[in-house]
């Protein structure tokens, strides 16, 4: 059996990240709560430096093996937050079937699957994105909210859910997902994200 290597720099490791790369990731955010439909928000780090490089490579350059170190740091941040761990399942921000085919995978689902393995929580796959929308990246906050209105569907969701996504910008996406879930009976949504550009 060969030596296990850091997925970023290739140094010998016991886990997926070496200490140098782990230290280079700004995982200093923790818990915030400022949204209408999302009850709790946990963000692992600031969208800059190595963390930004990893998220972009994970999302757009097929480096799906980054899901393990990202998920590990996200779960560590979640457990450090002190929030009540009463979630019944984990879910993720869905993509349309066409968009997922074009990319080849849904990065939020991959993160959710890895987090499910780490926490033992089951995955809820009942969320779908039924309406194609414009890319959020070039839209204003108001445009982002309007762009996503009515885009998601939820079938028989659990009462308490952990919602996973990669980056929080304005929060419009996770707010619309949480709104959809609550319209179908969910009582509590905790969002867990890898990064935000806000400091």
pTM of the complete model:
0.89
| Separation CA 10–CA 163 (nearest Å) | 31
pLDDT at position 130: 86
Q: Which domains does the chain have, with CATH numbers?
A: 26-196 (3.40.50)
| Separation CA 67–CA 167 (nearest Å) | 14
* Residue 70: alpha-carbon gap to chain centroid: 9
Q: What is the pLDDT of residues 24-62, one digit of tens each?
A: 887 666 667 668 999 999 999 999 999 999 999 999 999
Strand duo 30-32 + 40-46: pairing:
antiparallel
Query: Which residue numbers in the chain have pLDDT < 50?
Result: none
| Separation CA 189–CA 86 (nearest Å) | 11
What are the backbone angles phi and psi of residue 3, rounded to the nearest 5°?
Answer: -70, 135
Q: How many other β-carbons are positioned within 10 Å of the β-carbon of residue 23?
A: 11
Could you give the 3-state DSSP secondary structure of residue 136? helix
Of the candidates 172, 82, 162, which has an alpha carbon nearest to the alpha carbon of residue 120? 162
Q: How many other β-carbons are positioned within 10 Å of the β-carbon of residue 36?
A: 9
Are 43 and 60 in contact by the 8 Å Cβ rule? The answer is no
| Separation CA 178–CA 157 (nearest Å) | 11
């Amino acid at each position: 059996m060969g030596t296990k290597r850091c997925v970023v720099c290739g140094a010998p490791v016991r886990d997926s990240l070496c200490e140098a790369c782990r230290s280079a990731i700004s995982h200093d955010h923790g818990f915030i709560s400022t949204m209408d439909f999302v009850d709790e928000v946990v963000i692992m780090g600031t969208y800059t430096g190595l963390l930004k490089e990893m998220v972009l490579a994970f999302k757009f350059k097929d480096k799906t093996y980054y899901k393990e170190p990202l998920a590990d740091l996200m779960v560590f941040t979640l457990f450090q937050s002190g929030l009540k761990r009463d979630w019944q399942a984990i879910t993720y921000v869905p993509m349309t079937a066409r968009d997922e085919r074009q990319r080849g995978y849904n990065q939020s689902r991959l993160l959710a699957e890895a987090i499910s393995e780490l926490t033992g929580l089951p995955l809820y796959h009942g969320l779908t994105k039924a309406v194609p929308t414009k890319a959020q990246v070039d839209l204003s906050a108001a445009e982002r909210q309007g762009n996503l209105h009515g885009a998601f569907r939820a079938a028989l969701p659990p009462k308490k859910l952990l919602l996973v996504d990669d980056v929080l910008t304005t929060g419009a996406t996770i707010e619309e997902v949480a709104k959809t879930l609550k319209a179908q009976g969910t009582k509590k949504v905790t969002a867990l994200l890898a990064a935000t550009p806000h400091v």
